[in-house]
Amino acid sequence: MPRFYCSPPLPLGDLFDLPPEAAHHAARVLRLREGNRVEMFDGLGNACHGVITELGGKRVVVGEITAGNVDRESPLQVLLAQAMSSSEKMDWVIQKATELGVTEIQPLDTERSVARLSSERAAKRREHWRQVAISACEQCGRNLLPEIHAPLDIMAWLQQMNELSGTKLILLPQGAASLHSLEKPQGKVVLLIGAEGGFTQAESDSALRCGFTPIRLGARVLRTETAAVAGLAALQTLWGDFS
């Protein structure tokens, strides 16, 4: 069933016009017709089903709307802290992280980050990443959008993490621990991934002082976008809904 994101609150019972972008996608891309069933979700965990009753011009009207919540969230709460990379790679990480069930994404400005964003560009990029996550939710069936935080300098962010209890992991090629050697986490898991050139010594040392455990994923050095996806998949396999 085609799925479309709609800003809350979701309509129930009444006729409802799909938002312009969703209407365009439904009519021009998916080529839906009157009588087709669709699903709408609000990004807060709620969803409803309906039937297209009118389709013409730029309008797509949905009627016969009923609640249809399905919980597709992982029991594992993961915050992915990702050093910012080139736009295409970062988009890919946001998309795949959403599909893999993360609850939060924190973009980080590190010493070796390729992308450098002014405050104005950062706001626009954050909204772009939100749209990437919305599209990923439409595809994978999630009704809950991950929270994408405003980009932060890694050192400032680590100071915040210093006060956070729970499982904090940093992916390092020289990490001494492997995931399966760790105890099952209680509460949120933070997974910290470096930029294309990795972390500087000062950044990794600061993370360790803030309580991060250095872990490795095999003997090979992974690209930043590969590391994020591989790490999230491993977490879901060990402690999430892949097991």
Q: Residue 108 pairs with which residues in a beta bridge?
A: 83, 152
- 11 and 51 part of one domain: yes
- Residues 199, 57: Cα–Cα separation, whole Å: 52
Q: Phi/psi of residue 146, each to 5°? A: -65, 150
In the chain, how many domains are there? Answer: 2
- 89 and 183 part of one domain: yes
Is position 105 within any domain? yes
Is position 111 within any domain? yes
Q: In this structure, are residues 98 and 144 in contact, taking their beta carbons and an 8 Å threshold? A: no
pLDDT exceeds 90 at position 13 = no
User: How confident is the model over 44-53, as pLDDT tens digits?
Assistant: 999 999 999 9
- What pTM, to 2 d.p., does this model score? 0.92
- Residues 20, 26: Cα–Cα separation, whole Å: 10
- Residues 19, 7: Cα–Cα separation, whole Å: 9
Share the mean pLDDT of the chain.
92
pLDDT of residue 86: 84
CATH code assigned at 163:
3.40.1280.10
User: How confident is the model over 212-242, as pLDDT tens digits?
Assistant: 999 998 888 899 999 999 999 999 999 999 9
pLDDT of residue 40: 95
Domain hosting 8: range is 3-67
Q: Phi/psi of residue 227, each to 5°? A: -60, -40
- Residues 216, 220: Cα–Cα separation, whole Å: 9
User: How confident is the model over 123-157, as pLDDT tens digits?
Assistant: 899 999 999 999 999 999 999 999 999 999 999 99
pLDDT of residue 124: 92
- 50 and 107 part of one domain: no
